[in-house]
């Protein structure tokens, strides 16, 4: 009978006859649910008195009745094992008391006083239990858990009224005060998944930040990520939109979009962010990067810099839309250009009254509230688009730069309207410094090998809530967790999946790149000037890629950018070379024509070599690079090291994040 039928019957009873017959019928109907315990008590009395007439004084039957009483009590205890502890104990005590009285009555005669008192107490105890089972007030806030909490070892925890959404069930949990905490619930999530027979990743627990024993259990019964979605089927989410609009990189397991923002928004209470992407080989990190990269390139107010030691293996079709792209030979150069560029952009924003980059900063400054003129009139300065700097396979670059090379960049980038993206396989401390990792507020964590690797990417609270990327490792490419400002924290432990790039996506990727090259933002004077001042021709004569596919037998057209020379394997570039020994700096070498270079001539030759490096676009050098031209200046390493130090003091060179490496200051930097 449904609840509606019961309500209708109750309504009919209330509207029924009010004469003596109607009242008697109503009372009898209301009493029916409570009659079984009283009928049972009466049946015991009648059967006990009848048995006394047959077996009074029969010793053998007494033994059998006693054994039967014990057996019946034990059977009751065993049969009630699936019920609650209180009901099991109540049932066993009732059967034991009734069978004991029956045995005594059959052998020695009924003890009516004991039957009267014991029967009334027993029957009333079951009536009270039945009354208390119906709790109208409690029904509003709590619902039966079907024994779930007992199965997972939290029997005294209470489950509230479930909130059902499409492919998502949220159940409030109140743990027992004083004995259970949210940590106990987090540890039991595997047992919950087992009890409900769902994948472990379908269960997560969201603690209430204002309570140590309350939270929400979230159950996603159907994995909507199992069906792979091709990127070319949907393409960029908002072509021609702003970088301030959300970037859609996939979907969550309940079907909602996987979103992130790079710039901040004070009105929305969202901070600007940098991004850390990590995942083991085969986990889908490359496709995830393409999802984010195509979203960025399809926006109108952003410029893009990319360093990829793999030689653009995954990103070649997007190169025409990228303002500056370098391979492994340009890692040091780009890293050295970023920090002064960030500082220049931050200074520009400050002069124009911006506390952080916003969409107004990307257009011509005609608003008097954002003028750099002292008289308060509109300055008309060109706008400054948002800048994204992306280091792909950063573990390779950091092996050259040092694990703390990104510290200053990651800490300052957001204030200059720069989104700093670092992508690598494992964000461990031996590859990426803790300082840098902590400054990369957005985490996109694909499958990893173990929980230790997951701990490098995800906060403890997210892992405690049920996030476990090691469960799928690289068996489910594209599965990931996203931790980012602007998304409610309840989403952090929900798995998502980025879209899949296939060879059929190449033409659409090329279309995105062509649109970005023709219609996207161009480098603003502040950004271009800062980069040129830092690394000279390495930026001003950076590679230019065709917007359309060249002929089949041609390579992408680009201007030549020279490569940084590899380190000698037997030299530790982190260590300074020993200073020249007395007299060693004056050693003169025969140049092959019988003429020897003087000290001044050798110094001039060294300066010419540095100038040649600059002309070629090689802006980061060390002693080992210069020594490849040793025949031209005829000096040993100690002399070269001292001369480079002298150039450092003179301002021709600048220090880099890695000891022993120097950035060439462009000769026309001041101009």
Q: 275 and 165, same structural domain?
A: no
> Is residue 575 over pLDDT 80?
no
Lowest mean pLDDT across 11-15, 260-264, 452-456: 11-15
Mean model confidence pLDDT for the chain: 84
- 548 inside domain: no
Give ∠ CA 262-264-269 in degrees, rounded to 5: 130
Strand order in the sheet with 496-498: 257-260, 247-252, 496-498, 479-483, 442-446, 275-278, 418-424, 386-391, 302-307, 324-326
- 6 inside domain: no
> Where is the domain boundary, 192, 219, 246?
219
Lowest mean pLDDT across 42-51, 448-457, 595-604: 595-604
> Is residue 302 over pLDDT 80?
yes
> Where is the domain boundary, 109, 134, 159?
134
Q: What is the pLDDT of residue 482?
A: 97
- 202 inside domain: yes
- 572 inside domain: no
Q: 295 and 439, same structural domain?
A: yes
Radius of gyration of the chain (CA): 39
- DSSP readout, 579-639? PPPTTGGG---B-SSS-B--HHHHHHHHHHHHHHHHHHT--EEEHHHHHTTHHHH---HHH
> Residue 190 is part of which domain span?
138-219
Q: What is the pLDDT of residue 560?
A: 37
Percent of residues, the chain, with pLDDT higher than 90 = 41
> Is residue 232 over pLDDT 60?
yes
* CATH code, domain with 147: 3.30.70
- 8 inside domain: no
Torsion of CA 651, 653, 656, 660, to 10 degrees: -130
- Yes or no: say if 329 and 307 are a contact pair by the CB < 8 Å rule: no
Q: 374 and 430, same structural domain?
A: yes
**Euclidean distance between CA atoms 274 and 356, whole angstroms:** 14
Q: 372 and 302, same structural domain?
A: yes
> Is residue 536 over pLDDT 60?
yes
**Euclidean distance between CA atoms 174 and 337, whole angstroms:** 54
User: pLDDT by residue (tens digit) across 325-336?
Assistant: 999 989 999 999
**Euclidean distance between CA atoms 458 and 129, whole angstroms:** 48
User: pLDDT by residue (tens digit) across 19-42?
Assistant: 555 677 767 777 777 788 888 888
Q: How confident is the model at residue 571 (pLDDT cuts 50, 70, 90)?
A: very low
Most confident listed range (65-69, 220-224, 507-511, 547-551): 507-511
> Is residue 395 over pLDDT 60?
yes
Q: 302 and 425, same structural domain?
A: yes
> Is residue 631 over pLDDT 50?
yes
Mean pLDDT confidence for 310-325: 94
**Euclidean distance between CA atoms 327 and 425, whole angstroms:** 18
Q: 59 and 160, same structural domain?
A: no
The answer to pTM > 0.75 is no
Q: 370 and 501, same structural domain?
A: yes
Q: How confident is the model at residue 594 (pLDDT cuts 50, 70, 90)?
A: very low
**Euclidean distance between CA atoms 268 and 261, whole angstroms:** 12
Total number of domains constituting the chain: 4
> Is residue 403 over pLDDT 60?
yes
Q: 496 and 471, same structural domain?
A: yes
Residue of 476, 444, 490 whose CA lies nearest to 224: 476
- Yes or no: say if 432 and 424 are a contact pair by the CB < 8 Å rule: yes
Q: 237 and 212, same structural domain?
A: no
> Is residue 259 over pLDDT 60?
yes
Q: 475 and 462, same structural domain?
A: yes
User: pLDDT by residue (tens digit) across 142-178?
Assistant: 444 567 888 888 888 888 888 888 778 889 999 998 8
Residue 291, classed as helix, strand or coil, is helix
> Is residue 648 over pLDDT 80?
yes
- 669 inside domain: no
Mean pLDDT confidence for 268-288: 94
Q: How confident is the model at residue 134 (pLDDT cuts 50, 70, 90)?
A: low
């Amino acid at each position: 009978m449904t609840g509606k039928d019961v309500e209708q019957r109750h309504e009919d009873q209330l509207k029924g006859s009010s004469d003596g017959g109607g009242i008697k019928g109503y009372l009898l109907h209301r009493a029916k649910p409570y009659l079984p315990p009283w009928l049972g008590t009466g049946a015991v009395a009648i059967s006990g008195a009848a048995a006394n007439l047959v077996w009074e004084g029969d010793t053998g039957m007494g033994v059998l009745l006693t054994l039967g009483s014990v057996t019946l009590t034990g059977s009751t205890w065993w049969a009630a094992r699936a019920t609650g502890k209180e009901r099991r104990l109540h049932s066993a005590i009732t059967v034991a008391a009734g069978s004991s009285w029956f045995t005594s009555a059959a052998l020695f005669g009924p003890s009516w006083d004991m039957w009267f008192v014991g029967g009334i107490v027993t029957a009333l105890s079951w009536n009270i239990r039945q009354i208390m089972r119906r709790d109208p007030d409690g029904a509003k806030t709590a619902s039966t858990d079907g024994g779930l909490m007992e199965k997972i070892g939290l029997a005294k925890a209470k489950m509230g009224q479930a909130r059902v959404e499409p492919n998502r069930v949220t159940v409030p949990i109140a743990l027992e005060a004083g004995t259970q905490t949210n940590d106990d619930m987090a540890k039991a999530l595997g047992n919950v998944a087992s009890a409900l027979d769902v994948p472990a990743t379908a269960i997560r627990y969201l603690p209430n930040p204002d309570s140590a024993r309350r939270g929400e259990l979230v159950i996603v019964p159907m994995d909507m990520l199992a069906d792979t979605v091709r990127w070319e089927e949907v393409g960029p989410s908002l072509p021609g939109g702003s970088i301030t609009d959300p970037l859609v990189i996939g979907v969550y397991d309940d079907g909602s979009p996987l979103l992130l923002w790079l710039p901040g928004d004070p009105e929305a209470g969202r901070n600007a962010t940098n991004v850390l992407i990590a995942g083991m080989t085969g986990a889908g990190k490359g496709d995830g990067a393409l999802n984010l990269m195509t979203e960025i390139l399809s926006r109108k107010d952003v410029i893009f810099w990319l360093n990829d030691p793999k030689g653009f293996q995954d990103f070649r079709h997007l190169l025409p839309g990228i303002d500056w792209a370098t391979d492994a030979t340009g890692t040091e150069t780009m890293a050295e250009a970023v920090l002064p560029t960030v500082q220049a952009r931050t200074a520009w924003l400050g002069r124009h009254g911006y506390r952080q980059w916003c969409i107004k900063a990307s257009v011509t400054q005609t608003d008097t509230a954002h003028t750099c003129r002292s008289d308060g009139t509109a300055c008309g300065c060109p706008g400054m688009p948002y800048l994204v700097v992306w280091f792909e396979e950063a573990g390779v670059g950091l092996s050259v730069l040092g694990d703390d090379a990104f510290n200053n960049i990651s800490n300052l980038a957001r204030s200059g309207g720069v989104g700093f993206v670092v992508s690598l396989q494992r964000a461990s401390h031996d590859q990426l410094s803790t300082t840098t990792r902590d400054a990369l507020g957005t985490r996109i964590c694909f499958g990893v090998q173990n929980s230790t690797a997951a701990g490098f990417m995800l906060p403890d609270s997210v892992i405690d809530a049920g996030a476990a990327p090691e469960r799928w490792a690289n068996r489910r490419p594209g599965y990931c967790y996203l931790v980012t400002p602007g998304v409610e924290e309840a989403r952090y432990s929900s798995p998502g999946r980025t879209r899949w790039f296939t060879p059929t996506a190449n033409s659409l990727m090329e279309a995105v790149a062509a649109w970005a090259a023709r219609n996207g933002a161009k480098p603003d004077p502040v950004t271009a000037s800062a980069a040129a001042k830092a690394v000279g021709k390495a930026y001003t004569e950076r590679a230019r890629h065709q917007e359309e596919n060249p002929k089949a037998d041609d390579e992408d057209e680009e201007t030549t950018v020279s490569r940084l020379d590899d380190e000698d394997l037997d030299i530790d570039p982190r260590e300074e070379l020993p200073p020249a020994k007395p007299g060693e700096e004056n050693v003169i070498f025969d140049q092959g024509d019988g003429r020897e270079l003087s000290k001044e001539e050798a110094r001039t030759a060294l300066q010419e070599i540095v100038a040649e490096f600059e002309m070629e676009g090689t802006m980061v050098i060390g002693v080992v690079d210069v020594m490849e031209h040793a025949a031209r200046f005829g000096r040993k390493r100690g002399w070269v090291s001292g001369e480079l130090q002298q150039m450092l003091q003179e301002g021709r060179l600048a220090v880099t994040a890695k000891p022993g490496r120097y950035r060439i200051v462009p000769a026309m930097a001041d101009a």
